[in-house]
């Protein structure tokens, strides 16, 4: 398979899993939607990659509904991490490339949340059941300042947006501390993305504003109207899932 075809297969599978997660969040579909996605996929490798790509957001329907993750879904996550092991010893930018560092944080969020939702019990893949081994990556670099002439908040807010699957209840760590340290930078980043009609980026950043709101942190703007605005103007399965997660969190 060519690299372009492989990438398209992964993207299509990730969009399909996002669609299943959106349906589960709305109360439709089966209770083991991650496992169903993998088992019904014409390309199992792409489906396992999609599980890694969607990460903790594939657990959002269970989390936000207050139920444990289905054992078959937990097994699908373990299969995904077994087939595609997480990177180790990554460095935070600018000391290292951003891609592996971002993925390492997303993996940390997935495994941490999976442990919470599975109540510490892990399905076995083979004779030795064990959770995926993921260590906490280095913290985000500074750059969220939104004062004076410092415009570092723009790139920083985009980076935080790429970590939006961590903006879920039950997760807390250095990335969340970074969000707490600069709600103004996140507000400016979300507003900038909306004005540029970059709705996917806006939806990802505004999820952090919603997380801060749920965490009791005062934000420079009310995230609820912004979520509604993005949901009305934008389309796509992944973006719809982002806004649905944000709305459900606001309703908690």
CB contact at 8 A, 37 and 17? yes
| C-alpha–C-alpha distance, residues 129 and 116, integer Å | 17
Q: pTM for the whole thing? A: 0.90
CB contact at 8 A, 3 and 44? no
| C-alpha–C-alpha distance, residues 215 and 183, integer Å | 12
| C-alpha–C-alpha distance, residues 190 and 179, integer Å | 13
* pLDDT at residue 239, as a whole number: 94
pLDDT interval class at 143 (50, 70, 90): low
Our CA angle for 130, 36, 132, nearest 5°, is 20
Break the chain into its structural domains and give their ranges.
1-135, 139-252
**Residue 198 CB neighbours (<10 A):** 16
Q: pLDDT tens, 147-177? A: 444 678 999 999 999 999 999 999 999 999 9
> Which residues contact residue 23 at a Cβ distance below 8 angstroms, ignoring those fewer than 6 apart?
29, 33
Q: pLDDT tens, 10-63? A: 889 999 999 999 999 988 766 789 999 999 999 999 999 999 999 999 999 999
pLDDT interval class at 233 (50, 70, 90): confident
């Amino acid at each position: 398979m060519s690299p372009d075809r492989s990438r398209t297969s992964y993207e299509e599978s990730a969009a399909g899993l996002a669609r299943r997660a959106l349906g589960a969040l709305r109360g439709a579909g089966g209770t083991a939607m991650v496992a169903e996605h993998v088992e019904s996929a014409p390309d199992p490798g792409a489906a396992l990659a999609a599980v890694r790509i969607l990460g903790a957001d594939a657990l959002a329907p269970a989390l936000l509904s207050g139920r444990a993750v289905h054992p078959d879904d937990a097994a699908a996550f373990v299969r995904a991490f077994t087939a595609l092991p997480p990177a180790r010893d990554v460095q935070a930018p600018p000391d290292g490339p951003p891609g592996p560092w971002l993925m390492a944080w997303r993996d940390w969020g997935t495994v941490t949340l999976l442990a919470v939702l599975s109540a510490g019990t892990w399905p076995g893949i083979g004779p030795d059941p064990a959770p995926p081994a993921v260590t906490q990556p280095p913290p985000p670099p500074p750059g969220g300042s939104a004062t004076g002439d410092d415009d570092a908040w723009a790139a920083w807010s985009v980076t935080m947006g790429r970590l939006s699957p961590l903006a879920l209840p039950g997760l807390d760590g250095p990335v969340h501390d970074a969000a707490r340290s600069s709600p103004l930078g996140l507000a400016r980043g979300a507003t900038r993305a909306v004005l540029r009609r970059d709705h996917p980026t806006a939806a990802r950043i505004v999820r952090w504003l919603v997380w801060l709101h749920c965490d009791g942190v005062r934000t420079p703007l009310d995230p609820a109207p912004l979520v509604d605005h993005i949901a009305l103007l934008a389309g796509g399965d992944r973006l719809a899932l982002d806004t649905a997660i944000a709305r459900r969190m606001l309703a908690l």
